[in-house]
Amino acid sequence: MKREPLKGEMMSEKMISASAPAKIIIFGEHFVVYGAHALAAAIDRYITVTASHNTSDEFFVYGRLVRADHIFNAIDRITKGRHVKLIARSQVPNGAGLGSSAALSLASTIAVSKLFNIKPDPSLLFEVSMNAEKYIHGNPSGVDVATSLYGGFVLFKKDELIKVSSPIIKFLIVDSRQRRKTGNLVSKVKNFMDRNPELFNSLVNLADLMAKEGAAAISEEKIEQVASYMNVSQSFLELIGASTPKIDTIISSLKGKVLGAKITGAGGGGCIIAIPMTGSMPKIGYTVNAGVVGAYQLNYGIPISWHFDG
Ligand code: MEV
């Protein structure tokens, strides 16, 4: 079906689009900031950015002009002062733990590098997108950008990424509709660490082990083990202050219908991921496919077909 042009699309000549997938973190959020491994997966919800040459830097989201200084500052490494117009469309809620800001930075970086005919080098795409992330999150581990870029299931540690071989796995996502900033949650967890250094260090070690064993369980399709680790992981996240009463209530309401459930991403609200019991589908939330290809493969290889939610 022909799409109506969004505001700002009319003047441009050469227009290049790139998409990047959202992500879920199955094990290890927060602890990954302190050196633990995290297990994450790209999911089939995307942000697409269309780039074109322009007389000033402009960023439109669904026809609305918004500020995106963090992105323009980062992509300057590619644009070298030349101006671009970026138009974003998203299937990913903001501030909900699904990596919307990483996917937005990555889709923008890829669209702009294609616009300027820059050779697609994954390490350059990672670095530029990470610089955008650093402007807004302070000290991100890189798990969000790496997962969106490389796709599939990834066992990630700062400066290290291992692809985990697994078929696509369906996860239930329940959105608490509580919105928050990742940086605030990372600071809250740091306060917990400063007050409880020994306990926190033990949790980092356990979270690291769980991510590694969880990765092996995923690749051997031992879903019940993955789910039970998810429940343990949620209790760690509650302990360090990343959960909320609303999240706890949603997780309790899923008991008897799911094998495992936990926050995904920074917490403080946002989304819950869960593995439904066979034959039971809770009436809340929606399912996503985890383990889809990442932005790099997507934009320099396999095309996706678009659909919009709501
Ligand atoms: C956010 O998706 C994941 C956190 O661990 C922060 C990070 O790794 O940068 C909370």
* Per-residue confidence in pLDDT tens, the chain, 310 aa: 555 555 555 545 799 999 999 999 999 999 999 999 999 999 999 999 999 999 999 999 988 999 999 999 999 999 999 999 999 999 999 999 999 999 999 999 999 999 999 988 888 999 999 999 999 887 899 999 999 999 999 999 988 899 999 999 999 999 999 999 999 999 999 999 999 999 999 999 999 999 999 999 999 999 999 999 999 999 999 999 999 999 999 999 999 999 999 999 999 999 999 999 987 778 899 999 999 999 999 997 744 333 323 2
266 pocket-lining for ligand 1 (C-beta < 6 Å): yes
Q: How far is the CA of 29 from the centre of ligand 1 (A)?
A: 5
Q: Which of 25, 158, 263 to mutate to test the pocket of ligand 1 (most atoms within 8 A of CB)?
A: 25
208 pocket-lining for ligand 1 (C-beta < 6 Å): no
Residue 273 and residue 270: Cα distance in Å, rounded?
A: 10
Hey, what amino acid is at 305? S
- Does the active-site annotation cover 144? yes
What domains lie within the chain, and their CATH numbers? 15-165+292-300 (3.30.230.10), 169-290 (3.30.70.890)
Nearest atom of ligand 1 to the alpha carbon of 30: 5
29 pocket-lining for ligand 1 (C-beta < 6 Å): yes
Residue owning the nearest CA to atom 8 of ligand 1 = 141
144 pocket-lining for ligand 1 (C-beta < 6 Å): yes
Residue 154 and residue 37: Cα distance in Å, rounded?
A: 10
- 267 φ/ψ angles, rounded to the nearest 5 degrees: 80, -155
Hey, what amino acid is at 91? Q
Residues in Cβ contact with 20 at an 8 Å cutoff, skipping those fewer than 6 apart: 46, 47, 102, 103, 104, 106, 107, 110, 148, 149, 294, 295, 298
Q: How far is the CA of 190 from the centre of ligand 1 (A)?
A: 12
CB 241 within 8 A of CB 192: yes
Distances (CA, A) of 155 to 31, 123, 134, 209, 221: 13, 17, 21, 11, 16
Residue 78 and residue 245: Cα distance in Å, rounded?
A: 44
**pLDDT score recorded for residue 77:** 97
Q: Which of 31, 94, 144 to mutate to test the pocket of ligand 1 (most atoms within 8 A of CB)?
A: 144
140 pocket-lining for ligand 1 (C-beta < 6 Å): yes
CB 47 within 8 A of CB 104: yes
**pLDDT score recorded for residue 9:** 52
Residues in Cβ contact with 274 at an 8 Å cutoff, skipping those fewer than 6 apart: 171, 172, 173, 174, 230, 254, 258, 259, 260, 261, 262, 282, 285
Residue owning the nearest CA to atom 10 of ligand 1 = 266
Residue 6 and residue 249: Cα distance in Å, rounded?
A: 40
Residue 258 and residue 254: Cα distance in Å, rounded?
A: 6
32 pocket-lining for ligand 1 (C-beta < 6 Å): yes
102 pocket-lining for ligand 1 (C-beta < 6 Å): no
